[in-house]
Structure formats: C-alpha cells, structure tokens
Amino acid sequence: MNTKEILKKVRKIEIKTRRLSDHIFSGEYHSSFKGRGMTFSEVRQYQFGDDIRSIDWNVTARYNEPFVKVFEEERELTMLLMVDVSASESFGTSQQFKRDMITEISATLAFSAIQNNDKVGLLLFSDEIELFIPPKKGKTHVLRIIRELIEFKPKSKKTDIAQALRYFSNVMKKKAIVFILSDFINEDYDQALKIVGKKHDVTGIRVFDKYETELPKLGMVPMKDAESGEVILVNTNSSSVRNNYKANYLKLVDYFENAFTKSGSGTISTQLDESYVKKLLGYFKRRN
C-alpha cells in the first residue's frame, strides 16, 4: 500500500469514526470513565437547591450572605489501546477482516478520548512487543495511531497476551483506561491481567468471525493455522470434528470471560457482521 492509499484509508476511517465519537460516544465515554477526583473551581452565591454542606462559611461571613464552593472533576485521563496484531487478526469471512474492525473501534475510542482532552497511547503486540507509542493529546497524534494500525507489519505471527500485559505494567506507572483488542485465541494471561486490573481500568474487546464459532459442512478441507503456518486436512462433515472444534472455541471464550471477570475488568464481544457501535454504547451505559 503506497502513501497515497494509506492517507486515503486513514481519512476514510477518520470521517466514519470521528462522526461516531463526536455525536455518540464522547458523552458516554466522559460519564463512563471518571477523573481522579474533584478540584476547587470557584465561589459563587448560594442558589436554591444547593447543598448546604458546600457553603463557604468564611466568604459568607465576609459578605453577610451565603456563598458556596464550586468543584469540578479533575478530568485528564490516559487511555492506552493494546492491539493484537498477530496473524489470526487477518481473518474474516464477511466484508472485512478482524483487524479492520479493531482499527475502527480503536479510532472511535481514541477520538472519544481526545474529545475529552485525554491522552491516548498505542501498544501493538504479537508474541512480542511490536510497537509502543506513548500517550499524548491531539488529533495529529490520533491520526498517527490510525496510520500505524492500518500499515504496520508485525515481525511475528503468534500471540502472547501475558507478555504484552507485563510490558504494559512496566511502562505505565499511573492509572490508565486500557482497552485490549484481540480475538483472544490465547490462554495463560489471567495472572498478568489480575496484576494490571488492580491498578488500571481494563476492558477486553473480543472481535471474532462467525465461522470461528463452528465449522460449516464443506467436506474435506485443507485448513491453515495463521500463526503456526501448519496445514492439515479436516473432514468438516464429521460431527465429532465439528463438536471438538466448537468445544475448543467455547473453552477459549470461557477463559476470556472468567479471566476478565476475576480481575475486575469489563468485556465486550462483537462478531464481524454485528454493529460494534451498539456493543460499545451498551457497555458504556452499563458502566454509568
């Protein structure tokens, strides 16, 4: 993909996701993710309905009429997008690949954050740390993040979520809002997630294709593991093969949901042919 094509794709994603974040998500995002606390803003005259506990007695005594202290939320937060760029994300049987939906969701979240004057960072991972962009503010920074999500070529095809979480723990010392975007075809990350979940506000966004949930009947089919490169011949007409495939898939889904629940983190699961907009909005509203 040449530079012109990349810029065109960045612009297309910006137009689509910016509209969503401007009109739908920025308010929901603001109310879902709270600031660090309340800071003093100003003193104003008491109005009917004000909480009497907020009366500033010193100013009230000085002017001989009631004044109240006004506080505002100390808002500035940091969002970190942890994005799986392993080979299994380049799969999809509908109109797009998993990585395309992950890019759109990431862009929507990033624009929602900068609408609220928050910082945004990016961590791309496979079974190694592929790229880390420290959190910053501003549209130019978000456009760079989108460009990396579109054009980045990972060194490895495999997945290691635990290693990515350990790296994150080392580089992010202050509390952050963390979105982990992956198909979560991986295990053994529950302990690392528990450590991250104690300090940070974590959400796992699982993106999957309908044909990953169960095999269709197609006879003898050569199937390739995207991450290992291994090709095997699979009899998809066999009910035991299909049942084992489905059982293995459900095991990974259960692991994902249990690991995030036990660490006090949130989860969103969205199929490629579903609306991620509805899933995100529903999640934000449940948090309020």
Mean pLDDT of 31-59: 76
Range from 5-14, 47-56, 83-92, 195-204 carrying the lowest mean pLDDT: 5-14
pLDDT at 120: 95
Candidate from 190-199, 233-242, 249-258 with smallest mean pLDDT: 233-242
The model scores a pTM over 0.85:
no
What is the pLDDT at residue 42? 74
d(CA 127, CA 139): 30
pLDDT for position 159: 95
Task: Tell me the three state secondary structure of residue 234.
Answer: strand
Q: Is the dihedral of CA 159, 165, 166, 168 positive or negative?
A: positive
CA distance 13 to 216: 32
pLDDT in tens, 105-163: 999 999 888 888 889 999 999 999 999 999 999 989 999 999 999 999 999 999 999 99
* Sequence spans of domains, the chain: 3-31+75-287, 37-74
In sequence order, what are the residues at sequence separation of 6 or more whose Cβ sits closer than 8 angstroms to the Cβ of residue 180? 82, 84, 161, 164, 202, 203, 204, 205
Residue located via tokens 């202050």? 174
Write the DSSP string, 101-163. Answer: HHHHHHHHHHHHHHHTT-EEEEEEESSSEEEEEEEE-SHHHHHHHHHHHHH---S-----HHH
C-alpha distances in angstroms, 92 versus 9, 234, 287?
Answer: 19, 19, 30
Q: Identity (one letter) of the amino acid at 232?
A: I
For 74, list phi and psi in degrees, rounded to 5: -80, 100
Q: How many angstroms separate the CA atoms of 241 and 247, rounded? A: 10
Structural tokens at position 14: 């910006």
Residues 3-31+75-287: name the CATH superfamily: von Willebrand factor, type A domain (3.40.50.410)
Rounded Cα distance between 112 and 105, Å, is 11
User: Helix 98-115 crosses helix 3-20 at what angle (to 10 degrees)?
Assistant: 60
pLDDT of 38 over the 70 cut: no
pLDDT digits (tens, 9 = 90+) for 194-213: 999 999 999 999 999 988 88
Query: What does DSSP say about strands 37-45 and 67-74: parallel, antiparallel, or unpaired?
Result: antiparallel
